Amino acid sequence: MAYVDGFVLPVPKKNLPAYQRMAQKAGRIWQEYGALEYRECVGDDLDVKMGKSFPLQLKLKRGETVIFSWILYKSRAHRDQVNAKVMKDPRMTSIAPKGMPFDLKRMVYGGFKTLVDLAKVSASGRGSRRPARQPKRNGHAEMAEPQPAAQ
């Protein structure tokens, strides 16, 4: 069963470019060692009316935003193997040469077993079926228009 490491952290908006560079480097390393997916998402619609919002929960300071991240693995054992390799990789020590672009003490983190998995197609299109090539009258193939998903 799939396993997910999840992270939520406040990042100063002025540090987002540095955070993005760091995350891209880290993501490549995680995937090199076998992580199935690596996602880093920046807050967009955080003024919610129901429940407790991320900004309130994290006690965001003026000029900060929320990063919501996850790494997908085959299983917890797979996660442990991948993370052990990542943590030994010397590239990790130079991933943020000027220090972390966020306050590590305010990061929320945990490992999660999958409870429900209804995913058929990821937003990136991985795992999706590609449109079939339809022959044109002149003999050249052309991509067919994507059909709406069945409901």
Q: What whole-number distance in Å separates Cα of residue 55 and Cα of residue 48?
A: 10
Is pLDDT above 60 for 134?
no
Domain count, the chain: 1
Instruction: Please indicate, yes or no, if residue 99 is contained in any of the structural domains.
Output: yes
Residue 37: inside a domain: yes
58 bridge partner residues: none
What is the pLDDT, as a whole number, of residue 1? 86
Residue at token pair 């919002």? 53
Question: Is 135 inside any structural domain?
Answer: no
Q: Please check whether residue 8 lies inside any domain of the structure.
A: yes
- pLDDT for the residue 125: 54
pLDDT for 46 beyond 90: yes
Q: At what angle do helices 16-32 and 76-88 cross, to 10 degrees?
A: 110
Residue 111 inside a domain? The answer is: yes
> Does residue 90 fall inside a structural domain?
yes
> Which residues constitute the domain of residue 28?
3-44+51-116
Mind listing the pLDDT tens digit for each residue in 62-103?
Answer: 999 999 999 999 999 999 999 999 999 999 988 876 788 898
Residue 8 belongs to domain with CATH number: 3.30.70.100
In one-letter notation, the amino acid at residue 43 is G
